Structure 1
Amino acid sequence: MTTTRIPYADLPVAARRAVETRTGPALKVESEAEGFNSEIAARLITQAGEYYVKGLRADHRRVWTQAREAEVNPYVHGIAPALLARVEAAGWDLLIFEAVDGHHADYRPGSPDLPKVVDVLRRLAETPCPPIELRYAEQRLARYAAWPEDLDHFAGNALLHTDWHNTNVLVTDQGARLVDWAWATKGAPWLDAAYWVIWLIASGHDPAAAEEWASRVPTWQTAPAKGIDAFAIANANMWHEIGGQDPDAWTAQMLAAAERWRNHRTT
């Protein structure tokens, strides 16, 4: 479910003052249109530099995602933009990140961004799972697995991002960076590559080609074939639930991709 986006200027004065105490006065504000989870998403240009601010009202039902991002950030240095401050003021919970110049990853066949995504997947897989509270992959997929024993394939001790929407991958001159860690999860190390497969299929790859890209991530080699089958089935079930009876065009595209992959793995 998307969250209604409001302009930075519509924040309470006290909230903006709390942000700009840390960034310096905003000389220019550029609203960010992409993303589903934040009520505020804006780039602030100040005399001291540029910053990215995102946030939710303190009483928003998903405000816990702000805390999750703040907790994860110190452990993903070099993979994610650095979090500079968390501000809680005037009924708002706001995160201030370093601004990163780059473009959203292009997942289409032949894109020069694909090797860079493989590289950030590899670097993430090499990152130790932090000692913070995270949901477990087998918990998140429990409602969608075909059989209870399938969940054993998803368990593990790796830090996972899990949301490989292309807007969450910023391609810079220094490589790809991952943003929006709201759904950070602990699980089997191959799962992030598997989540990426569905996005590749939705972007025009056939399932075999998508899996070939995933296979370039070393952790993919640790995945049992039955585990990949179980994951493809569970994700198709998940997208069916998300889509409901009348999915919008974007959700229908993702559902179709998940179904193609499930059929590829099971027929």
Structure 2
Amino acid sequence: MHRHDWRELPASVRAAVREHCGDVVDTRTPDAGRNSHFAATLHLATGGTVFCKGVRVDSNAARTHRREAHVNRAIHTAFAPRLLWRIETDGWLMLGFEHVTGRHPSLTPGSADLPVIAETLSSLARDLTPNPVDDIPSLSHKWARAKPWHRLRDDPAPGLDEWTRARLNRFAALEPVAAELVTGHTLTHTDVHELNLLVDDRSAHLVDWAWAHHAAAWVDTAFLLIRLIQHGHTPAEAESWATTVDSWRAAPSAVDAFAIQIYGMWEHLRHTDPRPIREAPTRAARRWAMHRSGE
């Protein structure tokens, strides 16, 4: 996705943004994230800052940006940025958010960022239960429809490893169990990784709520586990860290079906939409699935 510079935006769009936040004297484009046609911290003549992101309304990304606006307008938590304004003009959807300072965390073993992230995940689960956002999709329903293991079983991808290939029938049979397992009444992010986290010494913020669903309170911690494995934790070490998150301690004693299903999601995506960025999380998800399978 081509990332536009502030000066490349239509003059009418820039004027609409200025109506909401005042004159823009400088912009800073983030290094991470490629899901928006425009994303930058706007430095204002007043001395303030706003984080602004935007997409063309005729793009596929417009749907997820609208969901993000819907979610951030409705949630009231100190651990997610507030939506300040939303503009739709001249073929562009522009969102202005409270600017959050911080850096992307380290997820490596022993990182001082991990206790801060655990506290944020605990607080978010408390703040967002029950789910405060109307008309938000259910993760359980999404997983019931997705059926990645059924698809891989019925049309095995070339290059699928032997361990996985030998278990396709078993994994496909677990898909309804996984869909039921994640049922819940918490607003969850479902895309928790280091590039969607901003930390300082005291707290962490979770940004980019475009894939929010209502689900069980513990699932965001579970989604982060494969990222910890990706960054050097063993599966057992990652699960040990998860016990420091309050909502994880209320999770079912066996999350085997979740681990296997999330691996199926990554494996199917890796074969149907191959990109280099898919490889590391798929390997990490496979390791967790093998661990939960006792292998």
Name the TM tier (shorter chain): over 0.9
| Separation in structure 1 between the aligned mates of residue 77 and residue 17 of structure 2, nearest angstrom | 22
Per-residue deviation at 1:140? 2.4
Structure 2 vs 1, CA of residues 166 and 76 (structure 1 numbering), >3 Å: closer, same or farther?
Answer: farther
Opposite residue 99 of structure 2, the aligned amino acid is A
Q: Which residue of 1 aligns with 2:137?
A: 135
> Match for 1:11 among 2, 5, 9?
9
Moved more, 3-12 or 205-214: 3-12
User: 2:116, 2:202 within 8 Å by CA — same for their partners in 1?
Assistant: no
1:35-81 Cα distance to aligned partner (Å, 9 max, x none): 13211111111122111100111111121222212222231431112
- CA-CA distance at 1:173 after TM superposition: 4.5
Q: Does the 8 Å contact 1:8/1:31 carry over to 2?
A: no
Structure 1: unaligned runs, 5 residues or longer: none
Question: Percent same amino acid among aligned pairs?
Answer: 39
Out of 245, 250, 253, which is 1:217 matched to? 245
User: How big is the shift at 1:83?
Assistant: 1.4
Change in Cα spacing, 1:245 to 1:151, as seen in structure 2 (3 Å) is closer
Q: Please list, as runs of the form range in 1=range in 2, the aligned pairs for 1:29-178 lying within 5 A after superposition.
A: 29-48=27-46, 49-73=48-72, 74-127=74-127, 128=129, 129-142=131-144, 143-144=147-148, 146=172, 147=174, 148-178=176-206
Q: How many matched pairs?
A: 264
Distance (Å, rounded) in 2 between the aligned partners of 1:76 and 1:208 = 34
Runs of 4+ in 1 over 3 A off after TM superposition: 245-249
Aligned-residue offset at 1:242: 1.4
**Structure 1 partner of 2:233:** 205
Per-residue deviation, residues 231-266 of structure 1 (Å, max 9, x unmatched): 110011111111117844331111100000000000
Give the strand-richer structure, 1 or 2: 1
Q: Judge conservation of contact 2:190–2:213 (CA < 8 Å) in 1.
A: yes
Whole-angstrom CA distance in 1 between matches of 2:82 and 2:26: 21
Contact 1:144/1:235 (<8 A) preserved: no
For 1:99 and 1:246, how far apart are their aligned partners in 2? 33
Cα distance between partner residues in 1 of 2:20 and 2:64: 22
TM-score by length of 1: 0.94
1-structure distance, mates of 2:252, 2:242: 14
- The separation in 1 between residues aligned to 2:292 and 2:185, in whole angstroms, is 25
Aligned residue for 1:181? Answer: 209
Q: Which residue is equivalent to 1:254?
A: 281
TM-score norm. by structure 2 comes to 0.85
User: Given that residues 137 and 186 in structure 1 are in contact (C-alpha distance below 8 angstroms), is that contact kept between their aligned partners in structure 2?
Assistant: yes
The letter for the 2-side match of 1:28 is D
Gaps of 5+ in 2: 150-171
3-state SS, counterpart of residue 290 of structure 2: helix
Q: Structure 1, residues 3-61: CA drift from partner, whole Å, max 9, x if none?
A: 33221221111001101111211111111231132111111111221111001111111
CA distance in 1, matches of 2:216, 2:273: 33
Query: 2: CA distance between counterparts of 1:225 and 1:77?
Result: 29
Q: Which is worse superposed, 89-98 or 239-248?
A: 239-248
Structure 1 residue 174: deviation in Å? 4.4
Alpha-carbon distance in 2 for matches of 1:131, 1:25: 33
